[in-house]
Amino acid sequence: MPRVLIVDDVDQVRYDLGIALALSGGLEVIGEAANGLEAVRLAERLNPDVVLMDLEMPVMDGYEATRWIKTRFPFCKVVALTVHGYEEAREKARQSGVDDFIVKGAQIQEIVQTILNKKE
């Protein structure tokens, strides 16, 4: 069962995702972070299988946090979850090490399926 860390600067988004993912079955939500720095610290402590990462956050953005996490834990899958669906954001996310990209507002089934899909 994949162990998931949720990272988003909006409390309600983290709460809603946590509940929805926990109820979907097949995933274990092991933590939540409100910014990239918290995500890095929690990844170090919890060693998640998957990080569901917002990209635009205060303190440390998701791009920098992804670079750090992927350097330290190369087998951790990072799924970007953002409102920025345009190609420039996708390319910047890919260059940071993001494995998959989901636009906020996607159905929970799509998010779960993306988390469960193996990296190529």
What CATH number does residue 90 fall under?
A: 3.40.50.2300
Q: With bands split at pLDDT 50, 70 and 90, how would you rate the model's confidence at 120?
A: very low
Average pLDDT of the segment spanning 38-62: 94
Predicted confidence at residue 102, as pLDDT, reads: 87
Confidence label for 9 from pLDDT (cuts 50, 70 and 90): very high
Q: Which residues of 73-112 are buried (b: 16+ CB within 10 A; e: fewer)?
A: beebbbbbbbebeeeebbeebeebbbbbbbeeeeeeeebb
Average pLDDT, the chain: 90
Residues of the domain holding 8? 3-116
Angstrom distance (rounded) from CA 30 to CA 11: 16
pLDDT at residue 84, rounded to an integer = 67
Half-sphere exposure of 97 (CA within 13 A, CB side): 21
Burial class (CB in 10 A: 0-12, 13-18, 19+), 1: exposed
CA distance 24 to 45: 25
For 78-106, how does the pLDDT look when each residue is reduced to its tens digit (9 = 90+)? Answer: 999 877 667 787 888 889 999 998 888 88
Give Cα 105 distance to the centre of its chain. Answer: 14
Where residue 76 falls among pLDDT bands split at 50, 70, 90?
A: very high
Nearest-angstrom CA–CA distance, 44 and 19: 23
Q: What percent of the chain has pLDDT over 90?
A: 62
pTM of the model: 0.91
Sheet (strand 28-33) strand order: 28-33, 3-7, 50-53, 77-82, 100-103
- Tally of domains within the chain: 1
Taking only the tens place, the pLDDT of each residue in 10-25 is: 999 999 999 999 888 8
Please report which residue ranges of the chain form alpha helices under DSSP H: 11-24, 36-46, 62-72, 87-96, 108-116
pLDDT bin (cut points 50, 70, 90) of residue 117 is confident
